[in-house]
Amino acid sequence: MGAHPKDKRHPRFGHLPLATSGPQECALTGVALLRAPYLNKGSAFTPEERKEFKLHGLLPPNVQTLDEQVQRAYQQYSSRPNDLAKNTFMTSLKEQNVVLYYKLIEEHLKEMFSVIYTPTEGEAIANYSRLFRRPEGCFLNIEDQDRVDDNIAQWGNSEDIDLIVVSDGEQILGIGDQGVGGILISVAKLTIYTLCAGIHPSRTLPVVLDCGTNNEELQNDELYLGLRRPRVRGEEYDAFVDTFVQACRKNYPKAYIHFEDFGLPNARRILDKYTPKIACFNDDVQGTGCVTLAAIMAAINVSKVKYEDLRVLCFGAGTAGTGIADQIMDAIALETDKSKEEAGKQIWCVDKPGLLLKSKKDELTPAQLPFARDDAELKDKNHNDLVSIIEEVKPHALIGTSTKPKSFTEEAIREMAKHVERPIILPLSNPTKLHEAHPDDLFKWTDGKALIATGSPFLQSSTMAQSTKWVTECNNSTTFPGIGLGAILSRTRLMSPPLLVAATKALAAQAPALKDPKAGLLPDVTDVREISVKIAKAVIQASIKEGLNEEKEIPEDEEDLEEWIREQMWDAAYRPLKKVEHDGASSHAKGEQGTGSARRGGS
């Protein structure tokens, strides 16, 4: 099984390494074809296809269009009584017909985004072992380390996989240890990659590393599907992660690895270990850092605060909080003539014990250390209480990644609003129930002056901010798809800092608030495919500048480059099927190998 069929639409680009249109090779017929989600068209199989692929008698006679199928599927979706039921409906639709699944979401993106992703996906993950019907993705477990290479190898040939999303399930959103259910965050992030950046869905692989779980509820749940043992730590854990990474490198040398929702003790460590060696990315550290910095860039443009004056308070200094602090520190250093150390002094971090202090440096993580303050700084004031800290620091921006709901109290926010004209407030803890504050309250307590973005989507109900229909969402989903697209198309050897800076600037340049101060700090999800093109372009250009691109035939001209990117984005449309003889390769776990494009979860 080899490369994708060449795209015939734009012969002007001779070289399209990931061309995604053109006929799809198909070795299946009859029931097997109807059960292959990447090839199945259901009632949309044409009369010719029905004849050629032996589908007569297996389908009712009326041939339908994709739009008609979308209409029916939407009615079925709408009849489901709640969001979780809608989420499971979508999961089964994907198991039947991948094109229809993506087309349906595309048509109802705004409505469905929160159902297939945060926050409802969090509920699906928490109930994984109860809702389980059919596995999707690759399950690796620490008791079977010898099988890791075989398990990874079964998804295709070396050119077949571009993108791997992996989680060990320890810190899922803010809902903590979900063990093997973490597979669903890998699946959901990949859905977003396809939807928002056109990454070919069958060229991706979701993985969970099951290392046990410390979640007692799961351990005691007789239906729990994962390893029923406490989480493995230390050398054995590190060796397992390394075995996984090496198996990926060996079997799919070009694949880009995205780490998601690892626990605090491991997330940053793993990222730091592999960043100098392979093209990899941690979404909670880097994706979140980029999107939050872009929101802040837009906000200070509105509030006219200069980088050299900016004061930021990060409430919650774990994986996401320190990732954000790092990106802001780098931006301040870049935009002023300050050293990183000096720039870091403009950022205050608070965690469970209060303000991070130098006197307690033994208790701090390496990522927290650069932000520890001198003890004398808050004089006799209370280091533990958010209101006192705000009173002292007078932050322009307050960012929540604490998982502590309602921790931005009325008193704290009113205190903040006393000192700055336009408080920038970003409650980012997901899912929605963990947000540090509700946007309506934030508008109320600041007389509508707050510049707000939230980690999960909110319907705008406030009368204070009617200029925008929705409160802007500040979720890494605006950045990671475009960054991944750029990484894959350039085949960057590493995801080095200049590539992330370029991505952030490309996103910030698209902020609606730049044109209209009353508009959102970040672009809306409905625009995300075009935003991904801009981000991917910036990443590709930065990769070339850094000499990291293994893909050499990339157009130089800006417009050509954008078009070249667009041409390679997969979209939800039925492609003609081209009959091929079975080549025996369908022993791959994707089930439909040897058919012109790789896929998983097949017949």
Ligand X SMILES: NC(=O)c1ccc[n+]([C@@H]2O[C@H](COP(=O)([O-])OP(=O)(O)OC[C@H]3O[C@@H](n4cnc5c(N)ncnc54)[C@H](O)[C@@H]3O)[C@@H](O)[C@H]2O)c1
**Positions that interact with Mn ion (CB under 5 A):** 261, 284
Give the single-character DSSP code of 374. Answer: P
Nearest to 139 by CA among 231, 225, 219, 263: 225
Instruction: Name which position in 279, 320, 397, 535 contacts ligand X (CB under 6 A).
Output: 320
The least CB distance from residue 495 to Mn ion, in Å, is 17
Spell out, one character per residue from 430 to 469, where the chain touches ligand X: x when CB under 6 A holds, - when not.
x---x--------------------x--------------
Instruction: Name which position in 156, 181, 201, 318 contacts ligand X (CB under 6 A).
Output: 318
The least CB distance from residue 110 to ligand X, in Å, is 18
> Which CA distances in Å does 313 have to 267, 363, 442?
22, 20, 16
Q: Which of Mn ion, ligand X, ligand LMR, none has residue 474 at its interface (CB below 5 to 8 Å by kind)?
A: ligand X
Q: Which of residues 271-330 bind ligand LMR (CB under 6 A)?
A: 283-284
The answer to whether residue 170 forms part of the interface with ligand X (CB under 6 A) is no
Which structure tokens are listed for 537? 């372009």
Q: Which amino acid is at 354?
A: G
The least CB distance from residue 379 to ligand X, in Å, is 21
Task: Pick between residue 171 and residue 243 the one whose CB is nearest to ligand LMR.
Answer: 171
Q: Is 379 a catalytic residue?
A: no
The answer to whether residue 316 forms part of the interface with ligand X (CB under 6 A) is yes
Q: Which of residues 382-421 bind ligand X (CB under 6 A)?
A: 401-404, 407
Q: Which of ligand X, Mn ion, ligand LMR, none has residue 278 at its interface (CB below 5 to 8 Å by kind)?
A: none
Span of 188-196, 221-229, 274-282, 313-321 interacting with ligand X by CB under 6 A: 313-321
Instruction: Tell me the β-bridge partners of 30.
Output: none
- Give a three-class secondary structure readout of 402-440: CCCCCCCCHHHHHHHHHHCCCCEEEECCCCHHHCCCCHH
Instruction: Name which position in 24, 40, 118, 346 contacts ligand LMR (CB under 6 A).
Output: 118
Q: Which amino acid is at 222?
A: E
Which is the catalytic residue, given 41, 86, 189, 534?
A: 189
Give the helix/strand (H/E) hosting 560: helix 558-567
The answer to whether residue 125 forms part of the interface with ligand LMR (CB under 6 A) is no
Residue 87 contacts residue 431 (beta carbons within 8 Å): no
The least CB distance from residue 37 to ligand LMR, in Å, is 24
> Which CA distances in Å does 283 have to 29, 265, 323, 494?
40, 16, 10, 15
Nearest to 205 by CA among 241, 250, 154: 154
The answer to whether residue 352 forms part of the interface with ligand X (CB under 6 A) is yes
Task: Pick between residue 255 and residue 267 the one whose CB is nearest to ligand X.
Answer: 267
Span of 141-149, 345-353, 487-495, 520-528 interacting with ligand X by CB under 6 A: 345-353
The least CB distance from residue 568 to ligand LMR, in Å, is 25
The least CB distance from residue 464 to ligand X, in Å, is 23
Which structure tokens are listed for 291? 């999107």
Q: Which residues have C-beta within 8 Å of that of residue 193, sequence separation ≥ 6?
A: 163, 165, 199, 204, 480, 481, 484, 485
The answer to whether residue 156 forms part of the interface with ligand X (CB under 6 A) is no
Spell out, one character per residue from 234 to 273, where the chain touches ligand LMR: x when CB under 6 A holds, - when not.
---------------------------x------------
Which structure tokens are listed for 349? 């971090």
Q: Which residues have C-beta within 8 Å of that of residue 48, sequence separation ≥ 6?
A: none
Give the single-character DSSP code of 262. Answer: -
Q: Considering CB under 6 A, how many residues would be counted as binding ligand X?
A: 30
Angle CA(282)–CA(287)–CA(292) in degrees, nearest 5?
A: 140
The least CB distance from residue 283 to ligand LMR, in Å, is 5
Q: Which residues have C-beta within 8 Å of that of residue 81, sequence separation ≥ 6?
A: none
The answer to whether residue 473 forms part of the interface with ligand LMR (CB under 6 A) is no
The answer to whether residue 430 forms part of the interface with ligand LMR (CB under 6 A) is yes
Q: Is 94 a catalytic residue?
A: no
Q: Which of ligand X, ligand LMR, Mn ion, none has residue 403 at its interface (CB below 5 to 8 Å by kind)?
A: ligand X
Task: Pick between residue 28 and residue 280 the one whose CB is nearest to Mn ion.
Answer: 280
Q: Is the peptide bond between 11 and the residue preceding it cis, with omega within 30 degrees of 0? A: no
C-alpha dihedral over 377, 381, 386, 391, to 10 degrees? -80
Instruction: Name which position in 114, 407, 476, 492 contacts ligand LMR (CB under 6 A).
Output: 476
Task: Pick between residue 261 and residue 592 the one whose CB is nearest to Mn ion.
Answer: 261
CA distance 401 to 307: 22
Phi, psi for residue 510 in degrees, rounded to 5: -95, 5
Block residue for tokens 């990949």: 190
The least CB distance from residue 118 to ligand LMR, in Å, is 3
The least CB distance from residue 119 to ligand LMR, in Å, is 8
Angle CA(78)–CA(35)–CA(55) in degrees, nearest 5?
A: 105
Which structure tokens are listed for 493? 């050897």
Task: Pick between residue 168 and residue 261 the one whose CB is nearest to ligand LMR.
Answer: 261
The answer to whether residue 282 forms part of the interface with ligand X (CB under 6 A) is no
The least CB distance from residue 285 to ligand LMR, in Å, is 10
Burial class (CB in 10 A: 0-12, 13-18, 19+), 521: buried
Helix (H, G, I), strand (E, B) or coil at 132: coil
The answer to whether residue 474 forms part of the interface with ligand X (CB under 6 A) is yes
Task: Give residue number: closest CB to ligand LMR.
Answer: 118
Span of 154-162, 438-446, 470-478, 592-600 interacting with ligand X by CB under 6 A: 470-478
Which structure tokens are listed for 288? 């979140």
The answer to whether residue 402 forms part of the interface with ligand LMR (CB under 6 A) is no
Q: What DSSP line would sit under 262-326, residue for residue?
A: --HHHHHHHHHHHTTTSSEEEIIIIIHHHHHHHHHHHHHHHHT--TTT--EEEE--SHHHHHHHH
Give the helix/strand (H/E) hosting 31: helix 30-34
Which is the catalytic residue, given 38, 77, 101, 117?
A: 117
> Which CA distances in Å does 263 have to 129, 175, 195, 425?
21, 11, 27, 25
* Residues in touch with ligand X (CB under 6 A): 171, 173-174, 264, 284, 288, 291, 315-321, 350-352, 401-404, 407, 428-430, 434, 455, 474-476
Residues labelled as active-site residues: 117, 189
Sites of contact with ligand LMR (CB under 6 A): 118, 173, 261, 283-284, 430, 475-476
